[in-house]
Amino acid sequence: MRSLRTLAALAALASAALLAPPAQAATTVQASAATIYRGEGDQLLRIRATTKPGTVKITHDGEGYFSVWTLSPSGKEDDLLANQVGAYKGTAPFNTSTSNKTAAFSIKADGAWTLQVLPLTKARSWSITSRGIGDDVLRLSSTSRGLHRLKIRHSGDGYFSVWTLDANGRTHNLVANKVGAYNGAVSLPPGARYASIKANGAWSIVRR
């Protein structure tokens, strides 16, 4: 009789465990203009679908493969915001094409991560000399006019690119595109307001 009672108690515990709601994998914090998501491992974050360009500040402290994609309302992958093995820290723009409409962020991770979603207007100020490590987004105080020179350096060994975006946050011009170290001077296209940098090492951009 005692063994039957024990079995019944174990069955009740197992049933309660199966009926219990799953642990929350991501938390959301609203702070002024920013929305911050925190989680661990793979996650699909649904948001209110938007065509408005913005930026995402991203961190990951895992050791394995890490990526963040934007998804359209149909589930199509659009913008690859982060793509790295191991720890990651960077900022990337999204909805830079007029055809994009973001309805979710798809995260692949083996560690803890954060996503801070901000308006594009909150991007880091693009000073005369701007420096950074890894992916970033820069913002001019006004749209570029006339002839200006950009002196660009990159010391990483992976893919490096610099895209300019127009005042509406849409893709404008590709001004640097190289795998590995880069050292060059290019013109700043008229009509540029933002710069999107993809890098795996230290970089600098000097405007003249």
Domain boundaries, the chain: 26-120, 123-207
What pLDDT does residue 137 have?
Answer: 98
pLDDT at 24 over 70: no
Q: What is the mean pLDDT of residues 22-33?
A: 53
Mean pLDDT value of segment 97-108? 96
At residue 33, the pLDDT reads 66
Q: Which fold has domain 123-207?
A: Jelly Rolls (2.60.120)
Query: Is 26-120's fold the same as 123-207's?
Result: yes
Identity of the amino acid at 114: T
Give the pLDDT confidence of 168-196 residue by residue, as tens digits.
999 999 999 999 999 999 999 999 999 99
- Residues 111-140 pLDDT 10s: 999 999 999 999 999 999 999 999 999 999
Is residue 40 within 8 A of residue 113, CB to CB? The reply is yes
Res 25: pLDDT: 53
3-state per-residue secondary structure call for the chain: CHHHHHHHHHHHHHHHHHHCCCCCCEEEEEECCEEEEEEECCEEEEEEEECCCEEEEEEECCCCEEEEEEECCCCCEEEEEEEEECCEEEEEEECCCCCCCEEEEEEECCCEEEEEEEEHHHCEECCCEEEEECCEEEECCCCCCCCCEEEEEECCCCEEEEEEECCCCCEEEEEEEEECCEEEEEECCCCCCEEEEECCCEEEEEEC
For range 160-165, the mean pLDDT: 98
- What percent of the chain shows pLDDT beyond 90? 83
Asked whether the predicted pLDDT for residue 7 surpasses 50, the reply is: no
Q: Over the stretch 64-97, which tens digit does the pLDDT of each residue have?
A: 999 999 999 999 999 999 999 999 999 999 999 9
Which one is the CATH code of 26-120: 3.40.50.11720, 3.40.640.10, 2.60.15.10, 2.60.120.380?
Answer: 2.60.120.380
pLDDT value for 129: 96
Give the mean pLDDT of 10-24.
36
The predicted structure's pLDDT at residue 45: 96
- The confidence score (pLDDT) of residue 21 equals 33
Residue 169: which of 110, 88, 102 has the closest Cα?
A: 102
**Residue whose C-alpha is closest to residue 71's, from 93, 103, 45:** 103
Alpha-carbon separation of residue 152 from 86, 104, 140, 147, 198 (angstroms): 26, 33, 16, 16, 13
